Structure 1
Amino acid sequence: MAAAVQQRLSELLSPLGFQCEPFLIGWYNAVMQPSFHLQYPDDTLAFVVLSMPQMFEKAFKPFINFSDQKIEAIHDFEMLPNRRPKVLVQSAAHVAGAAYYYQMKDVQKNPWGEKKMYGVCIHPRYGGWFAIRGVLIFPDVQAPSLEQKLPVDCVSTDEKKIQVLERFNLHWRDWTYRDIIDVEERYSEEQKQYFATPPAERFKLLGLKSDCSSMTSGGNQQSTTHGAL
């Protein structure tokens, strides 16, 4: 069942510029504090959804319809009433093997002391030129035999890991953290301009009226929330 669901998702989303990688709820909960646990059985199938550079041109807001499957979607920006994020998408991407979530603990010689440095996911093909859009959970599908794959550690040196964390935390607006490795594809100039423009002014770029407030405002960073393994 897990393989069939993944195939159907790929058939729908890959042509639109999305990547979906499966994971089990237990993998995610195992690396999270109890307050962040997702309340499903450990062997429940889920997918982390990433958007690739071509998503912008191919499908700005795609719609997924699984008529014969119960599916629960959690967007990266959704919050609980206590203002905690519903899901930490960077951790989900890491446990699914979709992208490596680099954090301070991955640096052998910490140059920052007690200063907090947020982590960042790097994709082995697209570097930082992607976004983690959310998680799809299939509560009726249990897949205890699903094999976990490790994310590719593509930022291999300590120096590079320090560099990507500093660029992401201190200079994320200049886009340079996204090119910490050689990449296959980057955002188009139109997409970069869109995400670099203040949200209230973005509609003019697409020829839309300013009351279209439902359109996504993400893109400068991979997610509006930060995860922690």
Structure 2
Amino acid sequence: MGTHVEIQGQLQGALQPYGFEIYPFQVGWYNGVLDPVFHLPYPGDSLAFVVLSAPSMFEKAFQPFLTQQKLQSLRDPVDQCVSHHMALAKERFPSLKVDVIYDYELHPNRRPKVLMQTAAHVSGAAYYYQRKDVPEDPWGQRKMFGVCVHPRFGGWFAIRAVLVFPGVLVPGLEQVQPLDCLPGREDRIRLLENFNFNWRDGKYRDVLPAEEKYSADQTLYFATPPAERRKLLEQWGQEQPIPPC
């Protein structure tokens, strides 16, 4: 197994049934839009995939995972679930090196190992709207963070990981541009203001009609402060009580 089509098929078989989506890209596309300090240390035509979780991941992967696994006390349960499925996906490639970089991984200086939203954009998975996408923006000296919008899920998704296949070079891989779902300036302003000023209320997620949204349980889970999520899971009866961290 060596072609990107075969690899992509295996990854989809391992991850798609559990609510994950994958999108291929060349490392060089990612490195090409970033300062050298953020570059991934692989040849430019190395094959990589960005992994997203769709709204259905909560029911298809996370809740079943909770019933089957004993959670480690010092780790986030969703991160554990994602790691579990990435490990299963890697098992499909016994003869290939696969490097997995998770969304929460940082270098010792606290710089993210991968800028996930940039990876999503260059892979065509989701459009990364940033301040530079708003002509004559109204925010003055205020710092504004960008946010990705998925063409089918709006803001109801998460970017979980990047998988790199260092030994697989794909110089002929064709780049797919992300769908610009918000061509209007006012829509872009509304998105960035909702995300930067009121992200907790989740309105930014509804910037466009979504095919799927988070369920009530999933919305409650992610709205709950991380330190209190264990209690919530215990109330749901989906895990044995865990000693306090």
Letter in 2 for 1:6: Q
Q: Which moved more, 1:199-208 or 1:32-41?
A: 199-208
Q: CA deviation at 1:212?
A: 8.5
The alignment partner of 2:107 has SS state of coil
1:87-121 deviation per Cα after TM superposition (whole angstroms, max 9, x unaligned): 00000000000000000000012000121100000
Paired position in structure 1 for 2:113: 86
Name stretches of at least 5 consecutive residues in structure 1 with no aligned partner: 214-229
State the Cα distance separating 1:41 from its structure 2 match. Answer: 0.2
1:3 equivalent in alignment to 2:5: yes
Picking from 157, 160, 171, the partner of 1:144 is 171
- Report the TM-score, using the length of structure 2 for normalisation: 0.84
Matched, 1:170 2:197: yes
1:205 Cα deviation from its structure 2 partner: 2.2
Task: Determine if the alignment matches structure 1 residue 76 to structure 2 residue 103.
Answer: yes
SS of structure 2 residue aligned to 1:206: helix
Residue 109 of structure 1 pairs with residue 111 of structure 2: no
> In the superposition, relative to structure 1, how do residues 210 and 158 fare at CA in structure 2: closer, same or farther (>3 Å)?
farther
- The answer for the alignment partner of 1:53 in structure 2 is 55
Q: Residue 51 of structure 2 aligns to a residue in which SS?
A: strand
- The whole-number CA distance in structure 1 between the counterparts of 2:14 and 2:32 is 30
Which structure has the greater CA radius of gyration? 2
- Per the normalisation by structure 1, the TM-score is 0.90
Q: Which has the higher helix share?
A: 2
Structure 1 residues 10 and 109, CA gap change in structure 2 (3 angstroms): same
- Structure 1 SS opposite 2:117: helix
Work out which of the residue numbers 11, 31, 34 in structure 2 matches 1:32: 34
User: Residue 13 of structure 1 aligns with which residue?
Assistant: 15
**Equivalent residue runs for 1:121-136 within 5 Å:** 121-136=148-163
1:44–1:143 CA contact under 8 A, matched in 2:
yes
SS of the residue corresponding to residue 69 of structure 1 reads coil
SS at match of 2:219: helix
Q: Which amino acid aligns with 2:58?
A: F
- 1: distance between equivalents of 2:179 and 2:168? 27
Distance 1:82 1:201 in 2: 28
Q: CA deviation at 1:211?
A: 4.5
Query: RMSD across aligned C-alpha pairs, in angstroms?
Result: 1.2
Q: Secondary structure at the match of 2:164?
A: strand
Shift of 1:11: 1.1
Q: Aligned residue pairs: how many? A: 213
Cα displacement string for residues 6-48 of structure 1 (whole angstroms, at most 9, x for unaligned residues): 1111111111000000000100000011000001000000000
Which residue of 178, 193, 204 corresponds with 2:220?
193
Sequence identity, in percent? 57
- Deviation of 1:68 after TM superposition, in Å, equals 2.7
Q: Name whichever of 154-163 and 57-66 sits farther off.
A: 57-66
